[in-house]
């Protein structure tokens, strides 16, 4: 049997950038110039602008993603946003466990796991971020760190749920630094992750899960990264803030 073809997935994580007007203009620019993309495309604006961006991309093939959520359905959780609220404004995806949330905001694997289960139960597609720090890489711990993050963040998922999850491998030392992982470095980790999925789930799940690379992806390095057999897309920060560079990365995925 032929393995399923994984459709590439390029997502732009706008982080805590842009004003409301700039967010809408960027979304409109992407929609206008995207044409027929041969990959899935999503944008993740600041949560306050999800609604406005949702309207700007309405009727297009661009999907909406949140950058975070809380695992409870509703209640006294000041400042938090639930999966249902994200669905309400048109989200299809939610980024969970981004390294900035793990390292700056103290989010642990258990919290990422609770959010993942809640997102899936609500019908959102989670994009689960994992990645090692420079110190961990230099100590030869990349594989064990990334595998542990995956196992703990993805605990308790059924095979069917797992097949619909997106994993983003984002080495912390490559995020926002301009220091991109080489295609070989990235491919090595992606291939390890796929082997892990095969041993924890099965070969169908392992060949269905899309694993994005993230960390200083730009139009000029995207082609080589995306041509690696186990790199199925990109989670893009800085270069997703301009129509041209984001579309340049999408073009490289074709
Ligand atoms: P970067 O960010 O492309 O600016 O390195 C990637 C990310 O944090 O997802």
What's the CATH number for 9-235? 3.20.20.70
Q: What's residue 218's pLDDT?
A: 97
Check pocket membership of 237 for ligand 1, CB cut-off 6 A: yes
Question: For the chain, what is the mean pLDDT?
Answer: 96
- What is the whole-number distance in angstroms between the Cα of residue 1 and the centre of ligand 1? 36
Q: Which long-range contacts (CB under 8 A, 24 or more apart) does 147-150 make?
A: 147/192, 147/193, 147/196, 148/109, 149/97, 149/109, 150/193, 150/196
For the cut 90, the answer to whether the pLDDT of residue 3 exceeds it is no
CB atoms near residue 135 (< 10 Å): 10
* Mutation to probe ligand 1, out of 128, 131, 215 (largest number of atoms < 8 A from CB): 215
pLDDT of residue 4: 61
Above 60 in pLDDT, residue 28? yes
Question: Residues for the chain: how many in total?
Answer: 254
Nearest CA to ligand 1 atom 6: 237
Nearest-CA residue for atom 2 of ligand 1 = 237
Q: Are 10 and 43 in contact (CB under 8 A)?
A: no
In the predicted structure, residue 2 carries a pLDDT above the cut 60: no
- Choose the catalytic residue: 98, 107, 132, 136: 98
Q: Which region among 12-21, 28-37, 147-156 has the lowest average model confidence (pLDDT)?
A: 28-37
pLDDT beyond 80 at 254: no
| Euclidean distance between CA atoms 53 and 68, whole angstroms | 16
pLDDT in tens, 171-211: 999 998 988 899 999 999 999 999 999 999 999 999 999 99
Q: Where are the domains of the chain?
A: 9-235
């Amino acid at each position: 049997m032929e393995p399923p073809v994984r459709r590439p997935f390029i997502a732009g994580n706008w982080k805590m950038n842009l004003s409301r007007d700039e967010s809408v203009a960027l979304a409109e620019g992407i929609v206008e110039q995207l044409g027929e993309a041969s990959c899935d495309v999503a944008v993740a604006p600041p949560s306050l602008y999800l609604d406005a961006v949702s309207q700007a991309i309405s009727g297009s093939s661009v999907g909406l993603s949140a950058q975070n959520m809380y695992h409870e359905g509703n209640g006294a959780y000041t400042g938090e946003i639930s999966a249902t609220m994200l669905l309400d404004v048109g989200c299809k995806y939610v980024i969970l466990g981004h390294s900035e949330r793990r390292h700056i905001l103290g989010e642990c694997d258990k919290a990422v796991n609770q959010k993942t289960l809640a997102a899936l139960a609500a019908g959102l597609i989670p994009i689960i971020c994992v990645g090692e720090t420079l110190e961990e890489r230099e100590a030869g711990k990349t594989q064990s760190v990334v595998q542990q993050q995956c196992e703990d963040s993805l605990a308790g998922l059924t095979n069917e749920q797992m097949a619909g999850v997106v994993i983003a491998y984002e080495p912390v030392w490559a995020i926002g630094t301009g220091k991109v992982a080489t295609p070989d470095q990235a491919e090595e980790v992606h291939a390890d992750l796929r082997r892990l999925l095969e041993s924890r789930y099965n070969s169908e799940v392992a060949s269905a899960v899309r694993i994005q690379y993230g960390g200083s992806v730009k139009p000029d390095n995207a082609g080589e990264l995306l041509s690696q057999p186990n790199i199925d897309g990109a989670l893009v920060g800085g270069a997703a803030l301009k129509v041209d560079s984001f579309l340049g990365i999408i073009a490289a995925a074709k």
